[in-house]
């Protein structure tokens, strides 16, 4: 019975930690560096805690920000905030969005979704976001 209780507590703790993973993603700072062309660029500095999730499977709840005008997509942005408050609309920081790559196309919805995938921390490639969720799938 004690073992069952411990398992319940452990799984509840993991689920709770995953429920608001955006708080963990907020553990980032920025440093200005020069790129290869001599331009100033902001480079993310991930916390030690955040780095422990590199290459690990995570779950995150958010809103789809489409990268194309119509149809279902296998590459899109996921935002902690609804479309009208998201980073691209000027109301939040870059830590509130992530790039998502899925095997199957996901239909756009204005309702929040839960995605599961492998978190990649990107501080080198300026053509991609600092957070990338690879091999992602919709959970709800």
Q: Which residues partner with 78 through β-bridges?
A: 64, 98
Place of tokens 């194309």: 68
CATH number of the structural domain spanning residue 65: 2.40.50
Q: Is residue 2 part of a domain?
A: no
90 in a domain, yes or no? yes
> pLDDT digit of tens for each residue in the chain (140 aa)?
444 444 444 444 343 345 589 999 999 999 999 988 999 999 999 999 999 999 999 999 999 998 887 779 999 999 998 876 666 666 678 999 999 999 999 998 889 999 999 999 999 998 999 999 999 999 97
Query: What predicted TM-score, i.e. pTM, was given to this entire model?
Result: 0.82
Domain count, the chain: 1
Question: Does residue 33 lie in a domain region?
Answer: yes
**Full residue range of the structural domain in which residue 87 is found:** 21-138
């Amino acid at each position: 019975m004690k073992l069952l209780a411990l398992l319940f507590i452990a799984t509840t703790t993991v689920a709770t930690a995953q429920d608001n993973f955006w708080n963990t993603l907020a553990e980032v700072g920025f440093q200005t560096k020069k790129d290869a062309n001599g331009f100033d660029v902001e480079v993310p500095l991930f916390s030690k805690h955040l780095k422990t999730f590199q290459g690990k499977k995570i779950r995150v709840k958010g809103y789809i920000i489409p990268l194309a005008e119509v149809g279902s997509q296998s590459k899109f942005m996921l935002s902690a905030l609804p479309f009208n408050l998201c980073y691209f609309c000027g109301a939040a920081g870059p830590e509130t969005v992530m790039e998502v790559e899925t095997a199957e196309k996901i239909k756009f919805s204005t309702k929040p979704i839960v995605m599961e995938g492998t978190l990649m921390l990107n501080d080198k490639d300026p053509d991609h976001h600092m957070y990338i969720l690879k091999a992602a799938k919709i959970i709800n």
